[in-house]
Amino acid sequence: MDNSNEITHDFSPFFKVYKDGRIERSLVLEDLPAGLDPETGVLSKDVVISPDSGVKARIFIPEIVGSDQKLPLLVHYHGGGFCVGSAFHILTKNVLTPIVSRGNVIAISIDYRLAPEHLLPIAYNDSWDGLEWIAGHSNGLGPEPWLNNHVDFGKVFLTGESAGANIAHYLAVQVGANGWAGLKLAGVILVHPFFGYKDVDEMHKYLCPTSSGGDDDPRLNPAVDPNLSKMGCQKALVCVAEKDFLRDRGEAYYKTLATSGWPGKVEFYETKGEDHCFNAFKQCGETDALNKKVVDFMTME
């Protein structure tokens, strides 16, 4: 009897796993080509981070940049539960182009490899590799001219939404705990961050076999991370949405960081009446308040 179509793991709406090893994804979006966004005047291009792993990134830059102008850099990690999403599709464009245009900043989204084909912690490792690749431009001799010529490496921010916010937080802690040369992290911006649930997260256990899926995992619960107070930046912005199922975990993270002994400054910002990652799915005008908060956080001393 052929039972290859038997489902062994059903993690809808993300993916299903069949007995024969096939993975069926429910959330698939087509990638958009890089180029000029006519609505915002933002230019984008794709770059290769690692030929060996195949990890790439997309850079977003304001259309008009002076030859000697140095701008803050926003390093972005997309959401999607570590198993869906891309630096190249419309949701990432929706998140980043309004900020780049409004704030006159540069953004780069790292397209880390997805689980379950690439089990965690590969997403974290790829994201770290992307940060190292970026830092390799701090002397003006990296492979990408946009970064060499236009980035102020004293004003680098990490950001992400949902699982991407989790990655941004984790990397900021690693920068502080392990030391870093080449660039200075000015801050982190966590939008609707994913830090697990009250109960064990079975999907996360599947995506990361070394994790319990519970609150004893410091990646899911920063409160148990002994390096939390070493987070390697000066300030943090934690953004939540009132109707988001992850809202309370985001607020708990804010309170934990504020009392952790970390010497930086942490801000809390809540969008009323909105749900998880609304900024990726709505038009620019409907996300103006959140975008303004992010830009102000990046550009104000």
pLDDT confidence tier of residue 179, bands split at 50, 70 and 90: confident
Instruction: Provide the token pair at 239.
Output: 């953004």
> So what's the pLDDT on residue 2?
56
In this predicted model, what pLDDT tens digit does every residue of 249-259 receive, in sequence order?
999 999 999 99
pLDDT confidence tier of residue 85, bands split at 50, 70 and 90: very high
**Under DSSP, is residue 57 helix (H, G, I), strand (E, B) or coil?**
strand
Any residues with CB less than 8 A from the CB of 48 and at least 6 apart, and which?
Answer: 55, 56
Torsion of CA 114, 116, 118, 120, to 10 degrees: 90
Active site residue 244: yes
Q: Which of 137, 150, 204, 276 is catalytic?
A: 276
> So what's the pLDDT on residue 198?
85
The answer, yes or no, to whether residue 285 has pLDDT greater than 90, is no
pLDDT confidence tier of residue 127, bands split at 50, 70 and 90: very high
pLDDT confidence tier of residue 138, bands split at 50, 70 and 90: very high
- pLDDT greater at residue 65 or residue 99: 99
Buried b / exposed e over 138-162, threshold 16 CB at 10 Å, is beeebebebbeebbbbebbbbbbbb
- Among residues of the chain, what percentage have pLDDT more than 90? 89
The answer, yes or no, to whether residue 95 has pLDDT greater than 80, is yes
Q: Which of 44, 86, 101, 162 is catalytic?
A: 162
> So what's the pLDDT on residue 218?
97
The answer, yes or no, to whether residue 84 has pLDDT greater than 70, is yes
Residues 42-71 have a mean pLDDT of: 92
| Distance in angstroms (rounded) separating the CA atoms of residues 61 and 204 | 34
Interhelix angle 122-135/163-178, nearest 10 degrees:
60
Provide the residue type at 8 as one letter: T
Active site residue 276: yes
The answer, yes or no, to whether residue 279 has pLDDT greater than 70, is yes
- At the topology level, CATH places domain 32-299 in Rossmann fold (3.40.50)
The answer, yes or no, to whether residue 37 has pLDDT greater than 60, is yes
The dihedrals phi and psi of 160, each to the nearest 5 degrees, come to 180, 165
Q: Which of 78, 201, 244, 260 is catalytic?
A: 244
> So what's the pLDDT on residue 68?
78
Residues 44-63 have a mean pLDDT of: 97
Contact of 114 with 208, CB cutoff 8 Å = no
| pLDDT, averaged across the chain | 94
The answer, yes or no, to whether residue 166 has pLDDT greater than 50, is yes
> So what's the pLDDT on residue 199?
93
The dihedrals phi and psi of 126, each to the nearest 5 degrees, come to -60, -40
Instruction: Provide the token pair at 16.
Output: 């299903």
The answer, yes or no, to whether residue 53 has pLDDT greater than 90, is yes
> So what's the pLDDT on residue 5?
85
> So what's the pLDDT on residue 1?
44
Q: Does pTM surpass 0.75?
A: yes
Contact of 106 with 59, CB cutoff 8 Å = yes
| Distance in angstroms (rounded) separating the CA atoms of residues 94 and 254 | 25
Q: How far is CA 217 from the centre of its chain?
A: 19
Provide the residue type at 291 as one letter: N
The answer, yes or no, to whether residue 170 has pLDDT greater than 50, is yes
Among 2-6, 61-65, 68-72, which is the least confidently predicted range? 2-6
The answer, yes or no, to whether residue 300 has pLDDT greater than 90, is no
| Distance in angstroms (rounded) separating the CA atoms of residues 81 and 231 | 23
Q: What are the boundaries of each domain within the chain?
A: 1-30, 32-299
The answer, yes or no, to whether residue 169 has pLDDT greater than 70, is yes
